[in-house]
Homo-oligomer: A and B are copies of this chain.
Amino acid sequence: MVTTKTIAKRPRGRPRALDRDEALETALRLFWRRGYEGTSIADLTEAMGVTPPSLYTVFGSKEQLYREALDRYGATYGSFAQRALAEEPSARRAVERILRGAIEVYAEGPAPAGCMLASGVVACAPEHASVAADVARRRLATIAAIKARFDRAASEGELAPSTDTQALASYYAAVVQGLSIQARDGVSRKVLDALADVALSAWPSSRADRPAPSP
- By a beta-carbon cutoff of 8 Å, the part of chain A in contact with chain B is 32-35, 37-40, 90, 92-93, 112, 114, 118-120, 122-126, 128, 136, 139-140, 143, 158, 164, 166-168, 170-171, 173-179, 181-182, 184-187, 191-192, 194-195, 197-199, 201-203, 205-207, 212-213, 215
Extra contacts besides A32-B123, A38-B124 (15): CB < 8 Å: A34-B123, A35-B125, A93-B215, A139-B181, A139-B182, A140-B187, A143-B182, A164-B198, A171-B175, A173-B182, A174-B195, A175-B178, A201-B202, A205-B215, A207-B207
- Give the dominant DSSP class at A's interface: helix
The one of B40, B181, B212 that contacts A122, using a Cβ cutoff of 8 Å: B181
In angstroms, Cα B93 to Cα A40, docked, is: 46
Task: Kindly report how many copies of this chain are found in the complex they form together.
Answer: 2
**Contact A212 B202, beta carbon cutoff 8 Å:** no
**Contact A177 B170, beta carbon cutoff 8 Å:** no
**Contact B119 A120, beta carbon cutoff 8 Å:** no
Given A37-B38, A213-B206, is A198 in contact with B168 using a C-beta cutoff of 8 Å?
A: yes
**Contact A171 B199, beta carbon cutoff 8 Å:** yes
**Contact A174 B166, beta carbon cutoff 8 Å:** no
Given A174-B175, A174-B195, A177-B178, is A119 in contact with B112 using a C-beta cutoff of 8 Å?
A: no
Q: Which B residues are in CB contact (< 8 Å) with A192?
A: 170
**Contact B205 A167, beta carbon cutoff 8 Å:** no
